[in-house]
Chain A
């Protein structure tokens, strides 16, 4: 099976712009989660989608949003970019939501905001 695919791998944007990141989960996986990784904070949960519905949301401002399509692919959008949004954004999928289904991560999108 192909793993979790994230595009693009690298992105450079300017403050105030918006950005959309894409994630294709492992085939058959219906849950997609997004995480932000920064050097000081480690990985922080953004949100999770399951069957096109947001199931959980982390403690991030409303500028961070996402959606999931009927084929389980997911997109994450960040509007009005700030310098502090520079980070590695990781997408992860699992076969179902619930304890016991480890997350499988993609290689991430490295976002740099200048």
Chain B
């Protein structure tokens, strides 16, 4: 049973515009959420995280929003750049199994120049 879901397998955005990647989860015990980016033939790279005590975390062009009541989080990339083209994975964990991350199936972002 997939506890973290990314329902959009792919997303295309024009360079300079906003990219919004979405993620839903079902387990209310999750309290730490992360986004990873993955290029072909490389391992996932940590991008940004958010704790459940916050509803927003920003790092440069990347912002993650968390809506606990809806069990939904999103990653905003503004402005999008061609180098952002990659597969983005949403992940979640509970305190007791912090390195036991539950991953979504990923969204392939393509930023069109």
Contact = CB atoms under 8 A, between A and B. Distances in A.
B97 to A, nearest CB: 5
Nearest to B32: A99
Interface string B78-113: 000000000001010101011111111110000000
Contacts, number: 66
Contacts of A99: 31-32, 51, 93, 95, 98
Interface residues of B, number: 27
Interface stretch (A11-19, A42-50, A66-74): A42-50
Contacts of B41: 107
Interface in B41-55: 41-46, 49, 51
B73 interface: no
Interface in A70-114: 90, 92, 94, 97-108
Nearest to B6: A42
B100 A45 contact: yes
A90 B46 CA distance: 14
Interface in B26-80: 31-32, 34, 36, 41-46, 49, 51
A56 interface: yes
Contacts of B103: 35, 42-44
A108 B43 CA distance: 6
